[in-house]
Structure 1
Amino acid sequence: MPQDLVLPRPGASYESEPPVAGPTESAFVETFGALLPAAQFLQTPRGKAAYYEIKPSISSDGNAKIDKVLFIHGVQTPALGMLPLARALEKSFPAAHLVLIDLWGHGLSDTPVVPHEASLFHELIENLLDHLNWQSVHLVGFSFGGATTVSYVASRPSRVKSFTLVAPAGLLEMSMFTPEEQSCLQGHGDDVAKKCVLNILEGGDLVVPADWKQRVANGEVVAEAVREWQMREHPGHTASVVAIFRDGGVMGSHAHFDEAAKAGIPSLAVLGELDGLCSKDQLNTHGFDNVFVVPKAVHSVVRDRAEDVAKLVGDFWKTLEKQ
């Protein structure tokens, strides 16, 4: 399948096609090392999705309140980008079963040749929870994963025990973009849209740090290198990124935020002070009161300041344990 794959837009008619297969685990490990636990694969009618389990290191006898946690990554950087936060939380919550998933078109997961609307990702979460036999879960969503968490909570509140949003997308508005960007996001010139979306996401051309191999060897997650690898090795990745940005709920999900805030489910939001994607005031306006801002942090706060984020999430979870 060529790199110029274009995914159907919502409402368009399209013929059924098999999914575009994701890369192999061995190819990923060869480049980035075995930082993640061994991949497991969920087979669904849409294709196969990779997930990674960090199992409890102590037995809780079924009494732990923070028992089952699913981490949902953002657009571009796959499950590996959530690993620093998951590892930091694992230390404080050894009885918790933590799972990270590669969303469609990311990491080792396939790209289904269907519109990438929020409902496609809700279905994937639902399939994974059923596969794990998890009736309900604590969700931690970053960026697009935050927007997906919010819309999932709004549509399936009974399956969510608590949710944490880290630098969530979803509250962008088309008016925030330049007229040129608006026309390519709304139009159907797919080559133009691809260039435009990647430019918005990267703020220009993707630059991989020269020392990335050394940093990876030291156990670091170098997101730029992971993104470049996916664009090269996953034939469906770029098409999924463009489709998610246009149709997945990155923009205009305000009503879902309102609904999720009213669902009566405990929530936390953690933002980077220097991140323009989402502000404390915006979240307060939509009914979220438990919002913390990490000083001098940018959008990649989930990785760059994983320990700070983990402290805030840990404090939130400890309040739930006392209830």
Structure 2
Amino acid sequence: MRYWLLGPESGTRVVLIHGISTPSITWKFIAPYLAEHGYRVLLYDLYGKGYSEAPKTIYNANLFITQLALLLQYLQWDATHVVGFSMGGGVAAAFAAFFPHLLAGKVILMASAGMMQQLRVTNRNNTDPLAVLGGIRKLQAESLPGYKMSMESCFKDGPLRGLEWAFDKLSGLRTVSGRPVQVELIHGTEEEVVPYDECLRIKQRVSSAKLVSIEGGNHDFVARDGHWQQVAQAIAGFLA
């Protein structure tokens, strides 16, 4: 498993979880922003992505939340805030629901999957910054043994759907100290991969969640200039 740490060691801890196909480079703008604003940022590649290995196994929510729990134990982090993007939102929700004692208190779900019937695949053009970063998808397919199998299992078994129980549990969830867990939803209004209605469905289950709409934002809002700044500010403001 490959991971990176950014920002001051004394900073408030936050982990960023990427999506189904583009690994931690997803956070190339947002992670440094948070580090520069004093946060201790943990990035890591999910199994089957980026520089982490792709073991021959089922790529479901259990695998990914166990991966994160073990990484936190390895780093000796007793608690952290959690941010998840796309499929990573499903991982974040399941992690929070299963391991509330490892939460510092805040969960941010960005263009979050978790209850989707199907994931939309769009033909992104060369002006889409995630599509440009997406060149790493081809590199993964060529250089990471097991990548194709891991992707197939993510679509079939992964935390894209079936996590209604996790979102239900987020409502009223408390940390080990007894504090209510706070949830923020960030979603682009022009989202094509994870439709905007998905965040409204989550909001119905987590009524106390704060909803931040990125006007005109698509699935590339984590990397598109003008949008990623709004997202980074929303994350930092919510965590403050």
TM-score tier by shorter-chain length is 0.7 to 0.9
SS of the equivalent of 1:130 reads: helix
Q: Supply the distance in 1 between the matched residues of 2:21 and 2:154 (Cα, whole angstroms).
A: 10
Note the alpha carbon deviations across 1:120-158, whole angstroms, 9 max, x for none.
111110111001100000111101110000011111111
Distance apart, 1:226 and its partner CA: 1.3
Query: Map of 1:38-57 to 2, 5 A cutoff?
Result: 49-56=1-8
- Given that 1:208 and 1:225 are in contact with CA atoms closer than 8 Å, whether structure 2 keeps it comes out as no
Corresponding position: 1:91 with 2:36: yes
Instruction: Name the % identity.
Output: 25
Q: Supply the distance in 2 between the matched residues of 1:295 and 1:76 (Cα, whole angstroms).
A: 24
Distance apart, 1:272 and its partner CA: 0.6
Structure 2 counterpart of 1:306, from 224, 228, 231 = 228
SS of the equivalent of 2:59 reads: coil
- Given that 1:141 and 1:168 are in contact with CA atoms closer than 8 Å, whether structure 2 keeps it comes out as yes
Question: Which has the greater radius of gyration?
Answer: 1
SS of the equivalent of 1:140 reads: strand
Equivalent AA in structure 1 for residue 211 of structure 2: V
Q: Supply the distance in 1 between the matched residues of 2:211 and 2:70 (Cα, whole angstroms).
A: 30
Equivalent AA in structure 2 for residue 120 of structure 1: L
Structure 1 residue runs of 5 or longer lacking an equivalent are 1-48, 178-199, 319-323
Query: Map of 1:48-197 to 2, 5 A cutoff?
Result: 49-56=1-8, 60=10, 67-92=12-37, 94=38, 96-161=39-104, 162-173=106-117
Structure 2 counterpart of 1:291, from 207, 211, 220 = 211
Q: Supply the distance in 1 between the matched residues of 2:5 and 2:57 (Cα, whole angstroms).
A: 27
List, as ranges, runs of 4+ consecutive aligned residues in structure 1 with deviation greater than 6 Å: none
- Given that 2:7 and 2:35 are in contact with CA atoms closer than 8 Å, whether structure 1 keeps it comes out as no
Distance apart, 1:308 and its partner CA: 0.8
Distance 1:51 1:128, change over 3 A: same
Distance 1:208 1:110, change over 3 A: farther
- The Cα RMSD (Å) is 2.3
Q: Supply the distance in 2 between the matched residues of 1:201 and 1:242 (Cα, whole angstroms).
A: 15
How many residues are paired up? 227
SS of the equivalent of 1:169 reads: coil
Q: Supply the distance in 2 between the matched residues of 1:90 and 1:224 (Cα, whole angstroms).
A: 24
Query: Map of 1:145-294 to 2, 5 A cutoff?
Result: 145-161=88-104, 162-173=106-117, 202-203=121-122, 209=126, 222-263=132-173, 264-276=180-192, 277=194, 278-279=196-197, 280-288=199-207, 289-294=209-214
Distance apart, 1:202 and its partner CA: 3.6
Equivalent AA in structure 2 for residue 314 of structure 1: A
Q: Supply the distance in 1 between the matched residues of 2:200 and 2:58 (Cα, whole angstroms).
A: 32
SS of the equivalent of 2:48 reads: coil
Equivalent AA in structure 2 for residue 146 of structure 1: G
